[in-house]
Amino acid sequence: MAVLRPRHLFSLAAALALTAGGTATAASAQDASAALREVMFVGNNWEGTADVIKSTGDFAKIGRVNVIPDKAQRMAEINADPIKWIYFMAIRNSVGEGHDQFVDDMYSTPDGKSMVVSRPSFADVVSIDLATGKINWRFAVSGYRADHMAVSPDGTKVAVSASTANKVHVLDINAGKKLGEFATGDKPHENIFTKDGKYIWNMAIGDVNTSLDDPSADWTKGDRHITIADATTFKQVKVIDMRNRLDAIGLKDFSDAVRPAVFSPDESKLYFQVSFFNGFLEYDVAADKITRVKTLPKNPATSEDRTTWVNDSRHHGLSMNPSGTKLCVAGTMDDYATVVDRATLQEGPLVTASKPYWATVSGDGQDCVISESGADQVTAIDFATGRKVVSVPVGDHPQRVRLAHVPADWTGPSAS
């Protein structure tokens, strides 16, 4: 049963006034706030749809978007090109676990009129009109697969990992025009804009679909490091190789493939997961060293054969409440999620979940929202108590969940 609680919604009007650098009037911000509704986008990767749900409360479904309205055209192109077809099938049979990957990441445009989606199997990013369901623009990434994205704090830029080309493209979110790009390590994955919008952190995870998963074969997984790039010039600012930092504290058998990551509110600490590890690490940005390691419980039912873990994951999904006091961890292969006290690193109840793949924060900051890719649902967990609030059914194999905005009266595209 859903547990409903009073909610204090964040003010979009205030946010608009801030991001406009003070140029927007209070009246225009209020008009924009009244015209838009905060929601969550849930990407159903294997189905090629995105469910739109409430961002708080009962997280009820509002509508659905078909993110592959051009599937026939894309498939015709792939079938006509032997190299594209080989990569398409490789994605299906490796990282796709026998399925096509039609939606990885999603964001809304600042005006709430469009959804911007990265589509791994089609190696592109598209903007979809939320009123009509039609494609506004399409950007083909370098190489043969598109992956995680990130949107700038002002909502105008979107960064996307071109995972087989080892680079990140940065696009104008409204026009789809490439503003710039920067080189990364092997298989760029997660992207994070700093809160001032000046820098982009990219985490390269290397090859995650080989069977060389024993620590002794870790060197075969590729060049994995964090690349920090200037978000205006797209020049590389710094490279952080966690191999040296892990070795310095005796964790020579740990993978240095940084997976989902989240900053503390003041960005002094970075919390991150790595391949094969049931837990997370704390990195002090100024000191440039790993300061704490948190090992979380193993599920006795989980095989210890690393080659059975999906894409080298053990735990994949990490978020933090707005005050920075709690972390939420998705224990992907261990079939649970848990809230961890940031000060003590003590975990709360282990909330049973089926292959949780991502963790984010509700619109009011009170809940952690995880995607249960094995159960085709999203589940909200109360940061305060660590206990489940509600689960909501969505489409096939939900992965990324993102806060977004749509028109206030939106219930779905007219053409979908």
Q: Give the tens place of pLDDT for each residue, 335-356.
A: 999 999 999 999 999 999 999 9
pLDDT digits (tens, 9 = 90+) for 191-237: 999 999 999 999 999 999 899 999 999 999 999 999 999 999 999 99
Mean per-residue pLDDT, 254-270: 98
Q: Strand pairing partners for 227?
A: 202, 239
Mean per-residue pLDDT, 271-295: 98
pLDDT at residue number 156 = 97
Mean per-residue pLDDT, 18-43: 63
For the chain, the average pLDDT equals 92
pLDDT digits (tens, 9 = 90+) for 114-171: 999 999 999 999 999 999 999 999 999 999 999 999 999 999 999 999 999 999 999 9
pLDDT at residue number 209 = 87
Q: In the numeric block, which tokens belong to residue 68?
A: 């592959």
pLDDT digits (tens, 9 = 90+) for 2-29: 433 433 333 333 333 333 444 444 444 4
Residue 380 has pLDDT above 90, yes or no: yes
pLDDT class of 94 with cuts at 50, 70, 90: confident
Mean per-residue pLDDT, 45-64: 98
Count of all residues that appear for the chain in the document? 416
pLDDT at residue number 15 = 38
pLDDT at residue number 1 = 38
Which CATH topology does 43-407 take?
Answer: Methylamine Dehydrogenase; Chain H (2.130.10)
Task: Report whether 215 contacts 231 (CB < 8 A).
Answer: no
* % helix, strand, coil for the chain, step of 5: 15, 40, 45
Q: What is the dihedral of CA 164, 166, 170, 174, to 10 degrees?
A: 0
Quick one: what percent of the chain has pLDDT higher than 90? 89
Q: Which residues contact 224 (CB under 8 A, 6 or more apart)?
A: 185, 186, 187, 204, 205, 206, 241, 242, 243, 255, 256, 257, 258
pLDDT at residue number 182 = 98
Q: Report d(CA 146, CA 214) in Å as an integer.
A: 27
Helix (H, G, I), strand (E, B) or coil at 257: coil
pLDDT digits (tens, 9 = 90+) for 293-306: 999 999 999 999 99
Question: Sheet of 105-108: strands edge to edge?
Answer: 105-108, 114-119, 124-129, 135-140
Q: In the numeric block, which tokens belong to residue 119?
A: 């589509």
pLDDT at residue number 233 = 98
Identify the CA nearest to 6 among candidates 57, 61, 58.
57
